Chains A and B, each alone.
Chain A
Amino acid sequence: MAEQSVQATGPVATATLIGHEAAELAFLETAAAHRMPHAWLLSGPRGIGKMTLAYRMARCLLSRGVAGGDLFGGPGSLQMPPESDLFRRILAGGHGDLRLIERIVNPTTKKLRTEIAVDQIRGLSRFFSLTGAEGGWRIAIIDGAEEMNPNAANALLKLLEEPPEHCLLLLVSHGPGRLLPTIRSRCRQLILRPLKEADAIAVLAQQLPDLDQHECLGLVRLAEGSPGRAVAMAAEGGLQTYGELLALVGDLPELDYAAVHALGDRLARANNEGAYRVWVDLLRLWLSRLARGGAGLDQMSDAVTGEVALASRLTMAVGLDRWVELWEKIGALAMRAERVNLDRKQVVLNVFMALQSTARH
Chain B
Amino acid sequence: MNMTDQMILDLPARKTQGRADFLITDSNADAVAWLDRWPDWPGHALCLYGPEGSGKSHLLHWWCAQTNARRLTPAQLLDADVTELAALGAVALDNAGPAAGSKAAAEPLLHLYNLLREQGGYLLLAARQPPRQWQVSLPDLRSRLLAAPAVGIQAPDDRLLVAVMAKMFADRQVRVGPNVLSYLATRIERSFAAAETAVMKLDRTSLSGRRPITVPLARMAMAAEEKND
A and B touch in the complex (CB under 8 A): yes
- Which of A's residues lie within 8 Å of B, judged by CB? 125, 154-155, 157-159, 161-162, 182
Q: Is the CB of B169 within 8 A of A157?
A: no
Which residues of the other chain, A, contact B166 by a CB distance below 8 angstroms? Answer: 161-162
Q: Is the CB of A154 within 8 A of B179?
A: yes
Q: Is the CB of B177 within 8 A of A158?
A: yes
Within 8 Å by CB of B179, from A125, A157, A162, lies A157
Q: List 25 A-B contacts (CB under 8 A).
A: A125-B175, A154-B177, A154-B179, A155-B177, A157-B177, A157-B178, A157-B179, A158-B175, A158-B176, A158-B177, A159-B175, A161-B166, A161-B169, A161-B170, A161-B175, A161-B176, A161-B177, A161-B178, A161-B181, A162-B166, A162-B167, A162-B169, A162-B170, A162-B175, A182-B178
One digit per residue, 1 when the CB lies within 8 angstroms of any chain A CB and 0 when it does not, for chain B 156-186 equals: 0000000000110110000111110100000
Which residues of the other chain, A, contact B167 by a CB distance below 8 angstroms? Answer: 162
- Which of B's residues lie within 8 Å of A, judged by CB? 166-167, 169-170, 175-179, 181
Which residues of the other chain, A, contact B177 by a CB distance below 8 angstroms? Answer: 154-155, 157-158, 161
Which residues of the other chain, A, contact B169 by a CB distance below 8 angstroms? Answer: 161-162
Which residues of the other chain, B, contact A157 by a CB distance below 8 angstroms? Answer: 177-179
Which residues of the other chain, B, contact A161 by a CB distance below 8 angstroms? Answer: 166, 169-170, 175-178, 181
Q: Which residue of B lies closest to A153 (CB)?
A: B177
A155 to B179, CA, bound (A): 11
A155 to B170, CA, bound (A): 15
B105 to nearest A CB, angstroms?
40
Which residues of the other chain, A, contact B175 by a CB distance below 8 angstroms? Answer: 125, 158-159, 161-162
Q: Which residue of A lies closest to B182 (CB)?
A: A182
Known: A158-B176, A161-B176, A161-B177. 19 other contacts (CB 8 A): A154-B177, A155-B177, A157-B177, A157-B179, A158-B175, A158-B177, A159-B175, A161-B166, A161-B169, A161-B170, A161-B175, A161-B178, A161-B181, A162-B166, A162-B167, A162-B169, A162-B170, A162-B175, A182-B178
A242 to nearest B CB, angstroms?
46
The A interface is mostly helix, strand or loop, or mixed, namely: helix
Which residues of the other chain, B, contact A154 by a CB distance below 8 angstroms? Answer: 177, 179
Which residues of the other chain, A, contact B179 by a CB distance below 8 angstroms? Answer: 154, 157
A34 to nearest B CB, angstroms?
14
Which residues of the other chain, B, contact A158 by a CB distance below 8 angstroms? Answer: 175-177
B167 to nearest A CB, angstroms?
7
Q: Which residue of B lies closest to A185 (CB)?
A: B178
Which residues of the other chain, B, contact A159 by a CB distance below 8 angstroms? Answer: 175
Q: Which residue of B lies closest to A159 (CB)?
A: B175
B178 to nearest A CB, angstroms?
5
Which residues of the other chain, A, contact B170 by a CB distance below 8 angstroms? Answer: 161-162
Which residues of the other chain, A, contact B178 by a CB distance below 8 angstroms? Answer: 157, 161, 182
A152 to nearest B CB, angstroms?
12
A229 to B177, CA, bound (A): 36
A162 to nearest B CB, angstroms?
4
A235 to B169, CA, bound (A): 51
B71 to nearest A CB, angstroms?
27
B68 to nearest A CB, angstroms?
27
- Which of the listed residues B166, B167, B169, B175 has the most CB atoms from chain A within 10 Å of its own CB? B175
A158 to B181, CA, bound (A): 10
Which residues of the other chain, B, contact A182 by a CB distance below 8 angstroms? Answer: 178
- Which of the listed residues A155, A157, A159 has the most CB atoms from chain B within 10 Å of its own CB? A157
- Which of the listed residues B170, B177, B179 has the most CB atoms from chain A within 10 Å of its own CB? B177
A161 to B170, CA, bound (A): 9
B125 to nearest A CB, angstroms?
33
Which residues of the other chain, A, contact B181 by a CB distance below 8 angstroms? Answer: 161
B79 to nearest A CB, angstroms?
40
Which residues of the other chain, A, contact B176 by a CB distance below 8 angstroms? Answer: 158, 161
A241 to nearest B CB, angstroms?
47
A292 to B195, CA, bound (A): 55
A125 to B169, CA, bound (A): 16
Give 9 nearest A-B pairs by CB, closest first: A162-B170, A158-B175, A157-B177, A158-B177, A154-B177, A182-B178, A161-B166, A157-B178, A162-B166
Which residues of the other chain, B, contact A155 by a CB distance below 8 angstroms? Answer: 177
Q: Which residue of B lies closest to A180 (CB)?
A: B178
A154 to B182, CA, bound (A): 14
B22 to nearest A CB, angstroms?
15
A157 to B176, CA, bound (A): 8
A159 to B166, CA, bound (A): 11
Q: Which residue of A lies closest to B170 (CB)?
A: A162
A157 to B214, CA, bound (A): 12
A352 to B226, CA, bound (A): 68
B219 to nearest A CB, angstroms?
16
